[in-house]
Amino acid sequence: MTRKEAREWIVKFIFQITINETFEKEEVESFINHFEIDDKHREFIEGSIFSIIDNLEEIDEKIIANLIGWDFNRLYCIDKSILRVATNEILFDDNVPARVSINEAVEIAKKYSSEDSYRFINGVLGSISKGEDCE
């Protein structure tokens, strides 16, 4: 598994809990064990997911502050999940450069979301990484 694949697993989990509207840490271990994620990437995946759950309100506020002409509650769940994962990295993970987080999010959006979502995600994350709130 690569770091890119690990991010995809994080997005899948965040998507799952976004759909179910249950942000419980207890679900993380069950998810990881179900998919038999290797130990090497388990720490990265768990750490990212726990950080997103712990900081969800701040992450969502930052995303909302950088949406222009969009209602957060009307975003596709996959786009919301991708934004949450990348925003978490930008705000709370000093080991990952913002440009890497943005690039990975764009690539995941191209793979899992609608045809134009990657442009939207790139714009929102670009604003977040520059510390600009567009509200």
Q: Cα 120–123–124 angle (5° rounding)?
A: 85
pLDDT band, very low/low/confident/very high, at 23 (cuts 50, 70, 90): low
Estimate the share of the chain in helix, then strand, then coil, as percent rounded to the nearest 5.
75, 0, 25
Contact 59, 124 (CB under 8 A): no
Range list of H helices, 21-97: 26-34, 39-54, 56-65, 77-92
Supply 25's token pair: 């840490």
* Domains along the sequence of the chain with CATH: 3-129 (1.10.940.10)
Predicted local distance difference test score (pLDDT) of residue 133: 53
In terms of pLDDT, which residue wins out, 49 or 27?
Answer: 49
Given the structure tokens 């179900």, which residue do they identify? 34
Predicted local distance difference test score (pLDDT) of residue 15: 92
